[in-house]
């Protein structure tokens, strides 16, 4: 008997409504609605088009329930991390959520550190320092005298905000809360003393719930419908990591590959020490409370932004075409630090300036840009892998690459070659698979994370990529390491 779930996966570039059919220990996925997720730039900053996104969620629900007449066993939403909305006492949205790439975050870490030193923040939260973390965004609003913040009654992270609009229930799902830099993974609660030192009101934060928790039935204009809404692993990376088809062995790490690359291991408990701080790793929480010990890496953001810039100039490429161009281009024409490119717009020009600032000739063609980005990502993965092995004290022999980026066969080969490790690519739909199968845990159809991963392994093929022993990678890595951090 088939059981149907609906998973909404909202990424930095697009969102999707995915139908999941669970039957006899296997999962099949069908996309029923896809929509762009494009930020909106206003004089006051860069924003998400939040109301449009909720409209698209409603439209996806209508396709499933009204057009296809499906009986749904659950609905779940995952999104990107760190961003949030503020609600008034009557539940109204006070200010449209800002995009994490908003320039208001520039320099904010230093302003926050002037009040609470970074060592103390890390001791409380165990989180990697990035200028757009929720803590810094919230503190930026405080320092700017935000009128919305002055009258706010509740702060909800993005998946929690959409869940509230679907159900009327205000909760903070654990995995998304753990990306905020004001969650304490040791005490398993929000870091209220830290917030109070910064003049931020912890009473704005709702109760924390676990992934798989039932929020309530779906509500719509006609009243309440008898469709359960589950709080899944609301952070998209947490959903993707849950769906890594790995065995119980401890010699593997993962890369959740998309606009961002998240590279790390699962760890039984938070690892908060001087070494972790120095290496700038993060302790985020996953399904069953497992710690996602990882580093954020810029990922295919550079690739996407170059494509957008070239299209605006009249040169439109598909991602497959860009991969073919990269494969045929001159190797190691330029070495980039992917994490140096945070802000949007003018990406090819930014890359060219980066090369010139580091004594390199910029790529000479679109094809060389494409190859330089992929090679540089692979080199960054090698660097993070070395740090990760140093941190956990063991060699990691397998790299599971999941998410949309796992479709890029050239990048997969570059990763295998750069790291001299076996790469296991797939599933590409790990995030939505994790979303739907956590719903199945909430619906008592799957018992635990081990069973969830067994369903993934039985449902989706993977590709094993071995190192080709291509030359040039060690020399390129030395060039990469010589770049300024």
Vertex 58 angle, CA 52 and 64, to 5°: 140
Tell me the C-alpha distance between 49 and 46, whole Å: 10
Q: Annotated catalytic residue: which of 236, 249, 251, 417?
A: 236
The per-residue DSSP string of 17-30 comes to EEEEEEETTEEEEE
Tell me the C-alpha distance between 104 and 100, whole Å: 9
Rg (CA), the chain: 22
Query: Does the active-site annotation cover 236?
Result: yes
Please measure the distance between the N-terminal and C-terminal CA atoms of the chain and give it in whole angstroms: 54
Tell me the C-alpha distance between 82 and 235, whole Å: 9
Tell me the C-alpha distance between 85 and 165, whole Å: 12
* Unique residue bearing structure tokens 């479709």: 407
The two tokens of residue 434 are 């994790």
Task: Please give the torsion angle defined by the CA atoms of residues 11, 15, 17 and 23, in that order, rounded to the nearest 10 degrees.
Answer: -30
Peptide bond into 23 cis (omega under 30): no
Phi and psi angles of residue 420, each rounded to the nearest 5 degrees, phi first: 55, 45
Cβ(267)–Cβ(286) below 8 Å: no
Three-state DSSP state, 408: coil
The two tokens of residue 433 are 């698979």
Active-site residue set: 236
């Amino acid at each position: 008997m088939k059981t149907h779930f609906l998973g909404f996966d909202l990424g930095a570039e697009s969102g999707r409504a995915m139908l999941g059919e669970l039957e006899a220990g296997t999962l099949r996925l069908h996309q029923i609605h896809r929509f762009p997720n494009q930020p909106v730039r206003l004089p006051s900053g860069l924003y998400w088009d939040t109301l449009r996104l909720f409209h698209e969620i409603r439209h996806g629900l209508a396709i499933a329930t009204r057009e296809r007449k499906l009986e749904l066993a659950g609905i779940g939403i995952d999104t990107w991390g760190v961003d949030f909305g503020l609600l008034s006492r009557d539940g109204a949205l006070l200010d449209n959520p800002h995009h994490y790439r908003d320039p208001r975050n520039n320099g904010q870490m230093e302003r926050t550190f002037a009040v609470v030193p970074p060592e103390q923040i890390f001791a409380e939260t165990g989180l990697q320092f990035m200028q757009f973390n929720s803590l810094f965004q919230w503190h930026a609003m405080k320092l700017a005298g935000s009128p919305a913040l002055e009258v706010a009654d509740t702060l909800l992270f993005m998946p929690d905000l959409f869940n509230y609009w679907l159900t009327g229930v205000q909760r903070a799902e654990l995995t998304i809360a753990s990306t905020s830099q004001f969650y304490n993974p040791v005490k398993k609660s929000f870091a209220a003393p830290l917030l109070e030192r910064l003049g931020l009101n912890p009473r704005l934060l709702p109760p924390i719930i676990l992934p798989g928790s039932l929020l309530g039935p779906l509500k719509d204009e006609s009243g309440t419908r008898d469709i359960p809404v589950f709080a899944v692993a609301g952070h998209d990376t947490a959903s993707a990591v849950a769906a890594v088809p790995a065995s119980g062995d401890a010699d593997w790490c993962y890369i959740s590959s998309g606009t961002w690359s998240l590279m790390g291991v699962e760890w039984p408990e938070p690892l908060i020490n001087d070494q972790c701080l120095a290496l700038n790793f993060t302790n985020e929480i996953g399904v069953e409370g497992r710690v996602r010990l990882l580093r954020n890496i810029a990922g295919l953001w550079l690739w996407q932004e170059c494509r957008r810039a070239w299209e605006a100039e009249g040169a439109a490429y598909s991602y497959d075409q860009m991969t073919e161009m990269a494969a045929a281009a001159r190797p190691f024409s330029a070495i980039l630090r992917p994490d140096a490119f945070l802000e949007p717009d003018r990406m090819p020009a930014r890359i060219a300036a980066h090369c010139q600032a580091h004594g390199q000739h910029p790529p000479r063609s679109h094809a060389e840009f494409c190859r330089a980005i992929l090679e540089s990502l692979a080199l960054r993965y090698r660097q993070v892998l070395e740090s990760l092995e140093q941190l956990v004290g063991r060699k990691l022999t397998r790299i599971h690459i999941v998410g949309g980026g796992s479709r890029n066969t050239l990048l997969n080969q570059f990763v295998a070659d750069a790291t001299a490790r076996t790469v296991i690519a797939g599933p590409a739909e790990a995030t939505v698979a994790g979303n739907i199968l956590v719903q199945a845990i909430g619906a008592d159809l799957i018992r635990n994370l081990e069973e969830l991963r067994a369903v993934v392994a039985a449902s989706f093929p993977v590709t094993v990529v071995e190192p080709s022993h291509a030359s040039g990678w060690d020399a390129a890595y030395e060039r990469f390491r010589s770049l300024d951090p």
